[in-house]
Chains A and B, each alone.
Chain A
Amino acid sequence: MTAYVVGGGMIKMGRHHDSSYVGLAAPAVLEALAVAGISLSEVGSVACGHSFGGPLVGQRIMSRLGGGHVPVTNIDNACSSGGTALRTAIQDVESGRVDIALAIGVDSLTQFGKGTLPLPEADIETESGLVMPALYAMRARRFLHERGATVSDLAAVSVKNRKHGSINPYAQFSSEVTEEQVLSSRPVADPLTLLQCCPTGDGAAATIVVSEAVRRRLGGPAVKVIASVLHSGEYEGGYRDMLSPQISAASAKDAYEMAGVGPEDIDMVELHDAFTIAELVYYETLGLCEQGEAVPFLRSGATTYGGSVVVNPSGGLLSRGHPVGATGMAQVVEAFWQLTKQAGPRQVEGATMAMTHVTGGGIAGLDHGACSIHILESA
């Protein structure tokens, strides 16, 4: 059975010290319900993606809103938690188990203060000093080495995505940046500077996924789910190519097959630009351009407004922010707005097909722990 997204909501991403996980997520859930035009009592199942919220986040959110009784599943898949929660909701609908599923993504990173995300200390590479910026920095170093690219090429990703985010009222950062500002910001793990890294923040997003019958009954704006994919990292102890992450490549291949479409059919992509280098690598991995062509592809303007595929119209992780478990859901809410022509000043003209992509988690010997890709189409 086909699943449709008929409502989405998110809160403004940012540093929300005075809000709990419930306070972050509840307004997003209420908005998603209101947009879809359904009541909480009609929801048949709930999937809540988060990575740092402790036990029973989904139930705590539902208990404050007055929902419950139905199955609530809490999902930790690091940066892919929100994407995985969406997939769970989609599965519930596609299997015919429920007609209406609620998917939530939420996380608070300001609880950790400053610095990098905590990684499991039992991991051998964490013990040896790996932090997420270091992983991406080594990817960047290798990229510059192999491609003859420059730090200016890296910075151009931040410049583009901050420009996109500057007109997104939900973005953590609302200002544009120049290449000089990006390159002169303080080093985090060179060659990556601060303005090439996604910010620390808090956020939440929610979507309503329904069956064909419910979509018809509601009659409002809807997008059709034509691919929903989840992959896990596979251990590869040898000479892993850091510029060609297999977990994302395999996820993209499956997603295109499932949807029966190709990269040329995609009008906009929300992809996992946790750091500048990631966006360049994923242009190639997702098949948006040929291998080795990421820099000229970016420089040609293909991935901004007016280009062939607008990448991260929301501003991406670099601008909208990256509250880990919220990101995958926020991407889908952006896609919902875009495909239902509700994105206002940042509307991608004529967009009828969108891809969302999240991947993350640092484990020794893996590209990443989890990757989730969705392809959505105007209904």
Chain B
Amino acid sequence: MEQSSQVIEPWVEADVRETIATMENEGKVVGSVCDDCGLAAFPPVRVCRNCQRPNQTLTSLGDRGTLYSYTTVHVASGRPVPYTVGYIDLERGVRILGPLAIPEDQIACDVPVALTQGESGWAFQIEGGQS
């Protein structure tokens, strides 16, 4: 018997940064789903967090969700303030952190939101709303 003939290589994660970009691909959030147990993930994973198996397929997680919570940040390091972010619950049990472009009088927990392209790039807005 010998050690695995295949030498183990590290994960190259340049593609992890790319997958964050795919959140804006054609306006859909792209995640992965496990071929074996069906668990969905964003960003896409190489091995399933549920069953640790490697068979993962890229899949659209849509462009619509529900705003779980949010905040406007006034003090931060490394980026201009203020800006508003929130946790958006997408389909298939996936929650992501995303930029929000929602007027103050319309923003609330549990409002339906959609990923749309506005003046300052892709952000979640009130579903059917105007930027």
By a beta-carbon cutoff of 8 Å, the part of chain A in contact with chain B is: 9-12, 16, 18-20, 22-24, 26-28, 30-31, 33, 35, 39-40, 64-66, 169-170, 202, 204, 221, 337, 340-344
Contact B1 A39, beta carbon cutoff 8 Å: no
**Which residues in A have their C-beta under 8 angstroms from that of B13?**
18-20, 22-23
**Which residues in B have their C-beta under 8 angstroms from that of A33?**
52
| Residue among B4, B16, B48, B52 having the largest count of chain A Cβ atoms under 10 Å | B52
A14 to chain B: closest residue by CB: B10
User: Shortest Cβ distance from B109 into chain A, in angstroms?
Assistant: 26
A174 to B11: give the CA distance in the assembly, Å.
Answer: 21
Interface range on chain B (Cβ under 8 Å from partner): 20 to 34
Contact A26 B9, beta carbon cutoff 8 Å: no
Contact B9 A12, beta carbon cutoff 8 Å: yes
**Which residues in A have their C-beta under 8 angstroms from that of B8?**
9-12, 27-28, 31, 170
Asked if B3 lies at the interface with its beta carbon under 8 angstroms from chain A, I say yes
Q: Name B3's contact: one of A19, A23, A40, A343 (CB within 8 Å).
A: A343
Total number of residue pairs linking A and B with CB closer than 8 Å: 71
Q: Name A26's contact: one of B4, B7, B47, B48 (CB within 8 Å).
A: B47
State the 3 A-B residue pairs at the shortest beta-carbon distance, nearest first: A66-B49, A23-B11, A19-B10
Contact A12 B47, beta carbon cutoff 8 Å: no
Contact B10 A27, beta carbon cutoff 8 Å: yes
User: Shortest Cβ distance from A40 into chain B, in angstroms?
Assistant: 5
Contact B52 A204, beta carbon cutoff 8 Å: no
**Which residues in B have their C-beta under 8 angstroms from that of A221?**
1
By a beta-carbon cutoff of 8 Å, the part of chain B in contact with chain A is: 1-4, 7-14, 16, 45-50, 52
Contact B10 A24, beta carbon cutoff 8 Å: yes
User: Shortest Cβ distance from A9 into chain B, in angstroms?
Assistant: 6
User: Shortest Cβ distance from B88 into chain A, in angstroms?
Assistant: 20
A344 to B8: give the CA distance in the assembly, Å.
Answer: 16
**Which residues in B have their C-beta under 8 angstroms from that of A66?**
47-50, 52
A36 to B2: give the CA distance in the assembly, Å.
Answer: 14
**Which residues in B have their C-beta under 8 angstroms from that of A22?**
11, 13
B45 to chain A: closest residue by CB: A64
A204 to chain B: closest residue by CB: B10
Contacts A26-B46, A204-B10 known; 11 new A-B pairs at CB < 8 A:
A12-B7, A12-B9, A12-B10, A27-B10, A27-B11, A30-B47, A30-B52, A33-B52, A40-B52, A66-B49, A169-B7
